[in-house]
Amino acid sequence: MQQRWIAPLAALVLLWPHPADAQAWSALEAQRQRCAETGSAAVCRAALEQSHVLKRWADNAKLWRCTTALLGAEAVMLSSSFNPGTGTTLEGSNREVRQACGR
């Protein structure tokens, strides 16, 4: 009976992008920029969800500077989303995340 949930769970794990994958980090940067530019709740929610996945990865790896940088990047993104379309760039917080997380 327990085996019924193993196959779907294994498929999900295999399909879910590995947080340490460079693609996951660049996708987060793109999502964060779209959130800041549009202020769309759905876009910002997707960016936050991706950020939470990466924070869990950083927490599990005991990369506290990375976790802190991701929290700061979330704050910058959300504050920027309150004034969408102002040409706000998140490059400073992206650079900080890359440095702290080794990306």
Q: In whole angstroms, what is the distance from residue 81 CA to residue 34 CA?
A: 9
**How confident is the model over 59-87, as pLDDT tens digits?**
999 999 999 999 999 999 999 888 887 77
**Percent of the chain at pLDDT above 70?**
79
pLDDT at 16 over 80: no
Per-residue HEC secondary structure of the chain comes to CHHHCHHHHHHHHHHCCCCCCHHHHHHHHHHHHHHHHHCCHHHHHHHHHHHHHHHHHHHHCCCHHHHHHHHHHHHHHHHHHCCCCCCCCCHHHHHHHHHHHCC
